[in-house]
Amino acid sequence: MSTIHWLPLTATSQIKEIVEHSRSTTCIIYKHSTRCSLSSLARNRLEKDWQFDERAVLPYFLDLIAYREVSNLVEDHFGVVHQSPQILLIQDARCVYHASHLDINARSLQPFFRNTEQA
C-alpha cells in the first residue's frame, strides 16, 4: 500500500493555488466527512490502491465539516454539485473528472495522469 501525502485544504485562498498548480501538475481534492462511515471507507479504498508518483499529483484533503466555506467554494468554482465523499481531479484549471461515494477509486484516475508512471 502506498501512502498519500495529503495536503490539507483549509482556506478558500488555496483554491487559486490549486488552479495555478493544475496547469502543470494534476491536483485532486478529496472531500471527506468526518461524520460519515462511507467517507472513511472510500478514503481507505483510495489509499489502499494509490500507486501514483507523488511528483505527478498534488492530493488535497478537505474536511468538509470543519471547512464548509471551502467546500462551498470548491462546488461554486469548479461547477460540481456537492457530494460526500467526493473526489475532483483538476487539470488545466478545471475539473476534468469527479466521482462520489463508492465510485471513488484510484484506478478511475489513471487515464487522467499525463506523462506519469506509477510509483
Q: Domain boundaries in the chain?
A: 7-112
Q: Are 71 and 84 in contact (CB under 8 A)?
A: no
Note the pLDDT tens digit of each residue in 84-106.
999 999 999 999 999 999 899 99
Could you tell me the fold of the domain covering 7-112? Glutaredoxin (3.40.30)
Q: Are 30 and 90 in contact (CB under 8 A)?
A: no
Q: Are 49 and 110 in contact (CB under 8 A)?
A: no
> Taking Cα atoms as reference points, which of 17, 14, 19, 25 lies closest to residue 94?
19
Note the pLDDT tens digit of each residue in 66-86.
999 999 999 999 999 999 999
DSSP helix/strand/coil, 22: coil
Q: What percent of the chain has pLDDT above 90?
A: 76
The model carries a pTM of 0.90
